[in-house]
Amino acid sequence: MELPFDRAGRLIGEAVCVAGGVASIGSSYRMLVQRALACDAAGIVLAHNHPSGSYRPSRADVVATRQIAAVCRAVDLDLFDHLVIGGRSVASMRQAGLMAGAG
């Protein structure tokens, strides 16, 4: 899920961007950025769930988040956070210090 925000920090929409299986998702970073730019967002928060119930970001989550952050920086879009949901718990990748290089 992508949550776009305007320059004043107000939520201006939400979009379910991808669907996936137990081990991975299929998505393009281009699609994520296009949706945010289409609504003139200043930044986004990404969120996804782990069907396993674990809320801990995987190594693949960290790598993908850093790649998405690089794409966002290239088009002047802030990636505020990436939330990982597992069961009834949520991990903030920003709060955990896992978004090195993210804007």
Return per-residue pLDDT of the chain as tens, 103 residues.
666 778 888 777 776 665 554 444 556 788 878 888 888 889 999 988 898 999 999 998 998 899 889 999 999 999 999 999 999 999 999 999 998 765 5
Structural domain total, the chain: 1
Position 100 in a domain: no
Q: What is the CATH number of the domain that holds 38?
A: 3.40.140.10
**Burial 30-53, CB ≥16 within 10 A → b, else e:** eebbebbeeeebbbbbbbbebeee
21 falls within a domain: yes
Q: Which uninterrupted H or E stretch holds 48?
A: strand 43-49
- The H or E element that residue 47 is part of is strand 43-49
Say how far apart CA 46 and CA 50 lie, in whole Å: 14
Residue 97 lies in a domain: no
In this structure, are strands 89-92 and 43-49 parallel, antiparallel, or unpaired?
A: unpaired
Boundaries of domain holding 41: 2-92
In a domain, 99, yes or no: no
